[in-house]
Amino acid sequence: MATRRPDPYDGFRFVVEIDQLVVAGFSEVSGLGQECELESFREGGYNAGERALPGAAKAGARLVLKRGQDASRELSDWFRAVVAGRVQRRDVSVLLVDAEQSELRRWKFLRACPVKWSGSDLRARDAEPAVESVEFVHEGLAP
């Protein structure tokens, strides 16, 4: 009997939640990652080089969300509040879902804060939609 091959999930099926509220319409998410710092040391009797051990986990690159610009100003207003000194950190989750919208995988970024907002270049000759991008720093991924 043949076994079923576990195919990768489709990358275009995802949902973004901010403080457990679904924020629809994101076309791209990047920065889903985390890494460990390396602690290098020399071991007596081992002359081939240094040894390395994984150390403390640190947040990976910034979390970047992109979506078509619409009338919603929630993300740009959140960023403007941060610029004005009113820093409000929120949990941001990215969910990978299947065709029935059932959750397959979740990445929860703890205490995220927007640090960069940008809108599209506007060109009358381009038929592409205007896109806004928001970059977040965060305090790591939830276990």
What percentage of the chain carries pLDDT values higher than 70? Answer: 89
- Nearest alpha-carbon partner for 17 in 68, 87, 65: 65
pLDDT in tens, 18-35: 888 887 668 888 888 878
Contact between residue 123 and residue 95 where contact means Cβ atoms under 8 Å apart = no
pLDDT tier, 114 (very low <50, low <70, confident <90, very high otherwise): very high
Instruction: Look up residue 12 and give its amino acid.
Output: F
Give, in words, the CATH class of 14-34+61-137: mainly beta
E-assigned strand segments in the chain: 14-18, 21-23, 26-30, 34-41, 51-59, 63-68, 90-97, 103-118, 131-137
Residue 4 has pLDDT above 80, yes or no: no
- Mean pLDDT (whole number) for 71-94: 90
- Mean pLDDT (whole number) for 81-110: 90
pLDDT of residue 63: 92
Instruction: Look up residue 52 and give its amino acid.
Output: A
- Mean pLDDT (whole number) for 62-76: 83
Tokens of 136: 């977040």
So where are the chain's domains? 14-34+61-137
Contact between residue 132 and residue 67 where contact means Cβ atoms under 8 Å apart = yes
Tokens of 63: 């979390």
